[in-house]
Structure 1
Amino acid sequence: MTSTKSLDNAIDLNDPQYYFNRELSWLEFNRRVLAEALDKRTPLLERLKFMAIFSSNLDEFFMVRVAALKKQVAAGVTKLSADGRTSKQQLEAIANMLTPIIKKQHQHFEKILKKELNQSGVHILNYVDLNQEQRAYLNEFFEEYIFPVLTPLAVDPSHPFPYISNLSLNLAVVLKDPQIDNELFARVKIPQVLSRFIALPEELRQTHQKKPGVWTGVPIEQIVTHNLEYLFPGMSILESYAFRVTRNADLSVEEDEADDLLLAIEKELQKRRMGGSSVRLEIEASVSPEIRSTIIREMTLEESDVYDIDGLLSLGDLMSFMALPLAELKDKPWNAVLPPRLSWLQENDGDSSGEGESFFNVIRHGDLLVHHPYHSFTSTVLRFISEAASDPHVLAIKMTLYRTSGDSPIIKSLIAAAQNGKQVVVLVELKARFDEENNILWAKKLEKSGVHVVYGVTGLKTHTKITLVVRQEKERIRRYVHIGTGNYNPKTAKIYTDLGLLSCNPELGADLTDLFNFLTGYSQQKSYRKLLVAPVSLRDRIIAMIKREIEHCRQGKTGRIVAKMNSLVDQEVIQTIYLASQAGVEIDLIVRGICCLRPGIPDFSDKIRVISIIGRFLEHSRIFYFHNNGDEEIYIGSADWMTRNLSRRVEAVTPIDSPEIFGDLQEILGVMLADNRKAWELQSDGTFVQRKPRKDEEVRNTHQTFMEMALQSAGIVDS
């Protein structure tokens, strides 16, 4: 990138000292996730959930980000990151940062969480702590249910080291043949088709504490370990250790060379199932040096790729305990409400066949903002699509699907719409990471039902979340739109915070028509009436709006920006924000995850404040506010300020014209900026400090506040 200089200070904005490393910034985000698991104010099972999320997040980080860095090292890539590190230096920094964090995670689980769970009636026991009756039961369970699906694999000159599948849990077993007195090595894969934690029956739940409890059981690998003689009869079992390997799982598809993108993705998925190169080894800390070095060598890993675990491996499996019927150990259940303008849905089914009280009638009377999970996704977005599918006046439905649930009612509605004779077009993004297989299944099912399915624009991932409904109304055609910040997924809509605009604004309808033509045909549309579209206009407009605030400040006026997003990485945008800070623009950024911008540097970025909110729900909405000398503008959409979103994805960001919705979005930003319970402030050294309410200060928890506001707007008294 060309060097950008401040007109006043001639500062080189490309200087690495002004940027945080992307990978390390993400690890800081995951450290904040872990903090929820360590926080005693968080309900106990929710703490277990956050510990599982921390581990699952790390799995994906290694499969994608670490794998990419390793490929760069192997290919001899010399390009430096924005903070001036080589790929190898980044890998070293990741290992150095992660080692103590992972140690802390496992120590907390083994020494604190397990103890507190035990006191609450959830006994995750070690096999060695079981009484004779409990052992007898589990030994019988092993013989009947586990033993038949196990396959021990010997390793010797005639049996090469077996393939270790991605994220599988394994036992490295050392044996001795009494007849030849030689030590032998074997691998036993723990079957993933069985539960990770095996429960004891109610009559055997009693522990040494004499409390029967709600759940008592042990990890399956310990049951296998203590029954290895069944797998190796006649052998002496000397030792065994659990280990787990992570592999490169990113897809690599050259679209220009793929005649059939769907077929190309399917082939790549087969490669993923086989697994790419190894990128991480997790192994019991007590493993012998010989076994440790053998696995490292066979997996072609380095010492820095190894994480010694003192305790249970694969803590992502702890998520299963959220199914326990222990409401007192979880967050209070949240039941989403309807926006006040849709309250009539509670009294009737909203007949969509006429011009009475229907979803379309509501939208015609004014734009509608939905805020999930506080507003019901099912009764708003899904209702909008299902009504469109059955409404005889609807002529066409067009939408993008990036991720959706496995049993998606949206798919059923789209199929029903096609069967009802409507023109239905769906853009299915086959390259949505780790949802490729699911999306392929739905794409085939939609095509068989008569839906026109397309896979987007070559070289671009379609990330925008948009729906267009074309409806015949008396003597005219009217277009209804939904423009959202999140996926059309009713399951994640319960735990992700997202926004959606429902409108029949003619200009937005025309823009979405043009955008769908770009996605499905050969359109080279370069300008839109209201939408900011990537990769066409979004980057330039963001830069221009930031520069507009700079110009206002230079004229002695007020400059103000508030932006909420998941990640801030793009160097050009960051440089422009730095220039805005130096010009006096007051900037508040709410960034959930990666933030490569360095705030708080005197006379450079000291007008910039960055917070991250981590809590009950995953912050996913994007909101962008610009003061514009009092002629304020606010936008919502699907794009983060990352290079991939601005340059390599199709994104749509919409301005908000409704004064009421404008005020709602300002209130949302205000609530988050005032948070003193779940907000973390980014320091100039890259660390985050969690805000704490003062003794005389009211606790302001963003998610709790929005739940209370939603209940109040619906006229519901929270009991």
Structure 2
Amino acid sequence: MGKISQPQVIMPKSKKTTPAINLTEPQYYINRELSWLEFNNRVLHEACDPRTPLLERLKFLGIFCSNLDEFFMVRVAGLKQQVEAKVTQLTPDGRTPQQQLQDIRLHLSPQVKKQNEEFEQVLRPLLAENGIYILDYIELNQKQRNYLDNYFEDQIFPVLTPLAVDPSHPFPYISNLSLNLAVVVKNPDTEEEFFARVKVPKVLPRFLPLPPELGIQHQGKPAHWTGVPLEQAIAHNLESLFPGMNIQEYHPFRITRDADLELEEDEADDLLLAIEQELRKRRMGGTPVRLEIQSQTPETVRSRLLQDLELTENDAYEVDGLLGLRDLMYFMSLPLPELKDPPRQSVVPPRLQRIRESSVNAEGLEVEEGKDFFAVIREKDLLVHHPYQSFSATVVRFITHAAHDPNVLAIKMTLYRTSGDSPIVNALIAAAENGKQVSVLVELKARFDEENNIYWARRLERVGVHVVYGLVGLKTHSKIVMVVRREKDRMRRYVHIGTGNYNQKTARLYTDLGLLSCREELGADLTDVFNFLTGYSRQKSYREIMVAPVNMRDRFLELIRREIDNAQNGFSGRIVAKMNALVDPQIIATLYEASRAGVQIDLIIRGICCLRPGLKDISENIRVISIIGRFLEHSRIYYFYNNGQEEIYIGSADWMRRNLDRRVEVITPIKDQDIAKDLQEILGIMLADNRQAWELQPDGSYIQRRPCEDCPEANSQKILMSMALRTVGMS
């Protein structure tokens, strides 16, 4: 259906007449942080797009807010630390840390305003039209108020702790991402005013539903949901918290703190213990970096909060309406399929449908039919594509099958992020209990998943799994599994090399690819990688795979320069690359060189892209799109035309400095021609997307594609869902 267009021969400009250009100059690069804000703005657009189902629009608002929280906790916090440390080093686009903070504020303020206007003025009325009423407390009738007042006394009041602020009570610690009420009360006897803080507890639901009999009638029936935000129920019962005092005013506010780990690995004798200690600090939170307040908050309260939190006006973001819209994800739990995306069906690849399953015949004897998992992989390599193909029936089944196969002697794998109820971890535990040699590298430094990974690491260790915590100074981000199996008189290694985490939950939401193979070269290469991860190996070369930080950067540069050489020698040059982010200045400069040589380059980059396409004499032959849709585009695919001897690769690495230099990553070539064609088809479908695709402009902005008048809509994710269903006769 889709295919990569074949390159045309474009003769480069003569080297004699082409002026030398310094491709590292700042004007050729987009700022990393501003590019990320553009990505999040595309997420916000999905919430504003009337073509998106209503509850999905709420979901995208929640994602926009959640993304911003992490951006402030990590990126803005890091920039503020650089300013404090008087760092003046310029980014590739020529900005200092202080200039970046100023530009972030400038770009972000209208986005925050747009987010809240969309919710208050568009989505809230639309929700009411569809029987979902998020009311303000003042809109309640007396019966509804009585119910909530009783609920407050029974369920909310016992949890609350009002904290006074005066000379004998210093300003209290405000926890990260907490929603709070700043309350001003007056002593009726002395007329003296006092300031207090009430935290809106996270242990209670953010939105309080009314019982159906008290809900609003919608089209002659009880509404699907009627209720109020928790903070409003608290605010209208403040008398119970401050008896004998007059409540003068209250104002919601929300705090974001620095939440990045500060870990000196070289000085940590026990990495597990060191990270646990840092997590304790994170729970408390670091320095405040953002204050969110409602726009009508008076100057006296606003300045008091800024002063006590040691923030400036540039750190305050005003909101007209509710704060903390990430909590809108709550409404996705409502049983209203007509307001959501159609149900998704993951399929089992046809080749895996032949795997034998145990059954019992009439005589009570166990009978097995079909082939086992390993026989299917021995036939030829197998590509799996999630979430279009089932993660459970492919990757999980592969590891579970290995855990219980009596001929399997060893399982080795890396775990970067995994789900809380991980069937993969349970399979590894079962494998260890079955007497197999199980080695797992658990990356404790996976940001915001450290605590979960510590839990799994300890559970694995208790059953005898060999757990390794990664390498000093490097995160292990590769997605690899190796199974060692005895077959007749030989040992055979089966591998999975993927683009995504071994996480059952995210596999339903992220698009990812994985290669299942038993090719000798890949087995030998992964053996070397695991020895590098667990021992003292200093392996510098591999048979087929690229490994960061060992040879990946150099190999990618070689592949790009090969296209340059072909183009300069009068042949065709073509590169298509799909990834999450393009940041690395050396890669970008080399892509510029390729464009100047006449190489045709298409980039599919979901998030950050620091390359400027379409610049005259620099990047005229480079096009960049971003696809934002129902699923989070997460797979990495790299295609090089190679003068007709096409090469294509998949793996865990983006073209970022951290991936190429500070992480352990694995990229594998695809040798099977059928799989290579499938991957080219996936890229072609995405390049033809005219529904979810956005085109990057030279100035760093994006324009969403729209179908022309006579063209059908081409939504790449919908097309790939339909194709997966057709492979198993379900469409």
1:269-668 → structure 2 map (5 Å cutoff): 269-345=279-355, 357-668=371-682
SS at match of 1:77: coil
SS at match of 1:92: helix
Q: Contact between 1:6 and 1:579, CA under 8 Å: does it hold in 2?
A: no
* Equivalent in 123, 128, 132 of residue 118 of structure 1: 128
1:121-144: per-residue Cα shift (whole Å, max 9, x none)? 110000000111101000000000
SS at match of 1:593: coil
Residue 57 of structure 2 corresponds to residue 47 of structure 1:
yes
CA apart distance, 1:710: 0.3
Distance 1:499 1:479 in 2: 20
The aligned amino acid for 1:665 is: L
- Residue 63 of structure 1 is matched in structure 2 by 73
The aligned amino acid for 1:80 is: L
CA apart distance, 1:82: 1.1
1:78-125: per-residue Cα shift (whole Å, max 9, x none)? 101111111001000001111111001101100110000001011000
- Residue 243 of structure 1 is matched in structure 2 by 253
The aligned amino acid for 1:277 is: T
Q: Contact between 1:196 and 1:220, CA under 8 Å: does it hold in 2?
A: yes
% same residue: 66
Residue 229 of structure 2 corresponds to residue 229 of structure 1:
no
Distance 2:264 2:140 in 1: 54
- Residue 3 of structure 2 is matched in structure 1 by none
SS at match of 2:203: coil
SS at match of 1:13: coil
The aligned amino acid for 1:175 is: V
1:57-206 → structure 2 map (5 Å cutoff): 57-206=67-216
Higher relative contact order (CA 8 A, sep 6+): 2
CA apart distance, 1:335: 1.6
CA apart distance, 1:209: 8.3
Q: Contact between 2:131 and 2:218, CA under 8 Å: does it hold in 1?
A: no
Distance 2:549 2:63 in 1: 32
CA RMSD of aligned residues (A): 1.6
CA apart distance, 1:207: 5.6
Distance 1:221 1:63 in 2: 24
CA apart distance, 1:607: 0.2
Distance 1:211 1:361 in 2: 57
SS at match of 2:222: coil
The aligned amino acid for 1:14 is: T
Distance 1:383 1:430 in 2: 25
Distance 1:15 1:565 in 2: 24
The aligned amino acid for 1:477 is: M
1:570-590: per-residue Cα shift (whole Å, max 9, x none)? 000000000000000000000
The aligned amino acid for 2:648 is: I
SS at match of 1:270: helix
CA apart distance, 1:212: 2.5
- Residue 698 of structure 1 is matched in structure 2 by 712
SS at match of 1:567: coil
- Residue 12 of structure 2 is matched in structure 1 by none
Residue 276 of structure 2 corresponds to residue 262 of structure 1:
no
The aligned amino acid for 2:93 is: D
1:206-217 → structure 2 map (5 Å cutoff): 206=216, 212-217=222-227
Distance 1:193 1:96 in 2: 35
Q: Contact between 1:355 and 1:361, CA under 8 Å: does it hold in 2?
A: no
Q: 1:533 to 1:355 in 2, by over 3 A?
A: farther
Unaligned runs of 5+ in 1: none
Q: What TM-score comes out, normalization by structure 1 length?
A: 0.98
SS at match of 1:218: strand
1:532-582: per-residue Cα shift (whole Å, max 9, x none)? 000000000000100000000000000000000000000000000000000
Q: Contact between 1:671 and 1:702, CA under 8 Å: does it hold in 2?
A: yes
Q: 1:501 to 1:355 in 2, by over 3 A?
A: farther
Q: Contact between 2:358 and 2:368, CA under 8 Å: does it hold in 1?
A: no
SS at match of 2:342: coil
Q: 1:603 to 1:695 in 2, by over 3 A?
A: same
The aligned amino acid for 2:225 is: W
SS at match of 1:507: helix
SS at match of 1:374: coil
1:646-701: per-residue Cα shift (whole Å, max 9, x none)? 00000000000001100000000000000000000000011100000012101100
Distance 1:179 1:207 in 2: 46
Distance 1:353 1:636 in 2: 38
Q: What TM-score comes out, normalization by structure 2 length?
A: 0.96
Unaligned runs of 5+ in 2: 1-14
SS at match of 1:308: strand
The aligned amino acid for 1:465 is: K
Q: Contact between 1:353 and 1:392, CA under 8 Å: does it hold in 2?
A: no
Q: Contact between 1:363 and 1:504, CA under 8 Å: does it hold in 2?
A: yes
Distance 2:619 2:367 in 1: 57
1:621-670: per-residue Cα shift (whole Å, max 9, x none)? 00000000001100000000000000000000000000110000000000
Distance 2:482 2:64 in 1: 37
Distance 1:196 1:221 in 2: 8
- Residue 27 of structure 2 is matched in structure 1 by 17
Distance 2:637 2:368 in 1: 35
Q: Contact between 1:352 and 1:391, CA under 8 Å: does it hold in 2?
A: no
Q: Contact between 2:510 and 2:633, CA under 8 Å: does it hold in 1?
A: yes
Q: Mean Cα displacement is larger for which, 374-383 or 341-350?
A: 341-350
Instruction: Give the count of matched residue pairs.
Output: 713
Q: Contact between 1:559 and 1:629, CA under 8 Å: does it hold in 2?
A: yes
Distance 1:419 1:136 in 2: 57
Residue 695 of structure 2 corresponds to residue 681 of structure 1:
yes
Q: Contact between 1:353 and 1:391, CA under 8 Å: does it hold in 2?
A: no
Distance 2:366 2:504 in 1: 22
Q: Mean Cα displacement is larger for which, 337-346 or 532-541?
A: 337-346
The aligned amino acid for 2:166 is: D
Distance 1:210 1:77 in 2: 64
Q: Contact between 2:356 and 2:368, CA under 8 Å: does it hold in 1?
A: no
The aligned amino acid for 1:604 is: I
